Amino acid sequence: MHSMWYVYVLYSKKLVKRYVGFTNDLKRRFAEHSRGDSDFTNRGKPWILLYYSAFCNKQDAEEEEKYLKSGQGRERLDRLLINSLKENGGVA
């Protein structure tokens, strides 16, 4: 059985910012962000999980993460998550 890989989008009301990452254990990684184990996301606690996608291949997940961090990818997330961002006080 292959392990799954996840691309995820977190949102911080405190910073009014999104964070895009990828992992092979979404529950563990979200718990790490929530505890402040990551220096990069520690300031934004608490984080809200807005979105995730599952992949069967690590390379595909890495490519999707890279895309979502690009200009076109950020625009796609703005359209995809417009209602979630509005509900959580973010800019759409």
CA angle 41, 42, 47 (to 5 degrees): 65
What are 49-83's pLDDT values in tens digits?
Answer: 999 999 999 999 999 999 999 999 999 999 999 88
Burial class (CB in 10 A: 0-12, 13-18, 19+), 32: middle
Domain for residue 77, yes or no?
yes
What are 5-35's pLDDT values in tens digits?
Answer: 999 999 999 999 999 999 999 999 999 999 9
Q: Which domain holds residue 24?
A: 5-87
Domain for residue 17, yes or no?
yes
Q: In CATH, what number is assigned to the domain containing residue 58? A: 3.40.1440.10
- The pTM for the full model equals 0.90
Count of structural domains within the chain:
1
SS3 33: helix
**Is residue 23 within 8 Å of 8, Cβ to Cβ?**
yes
24: phi then psi, degrees, rounded to nearest 5 = -100, 5
Domain for residue 92, yes or no?
no
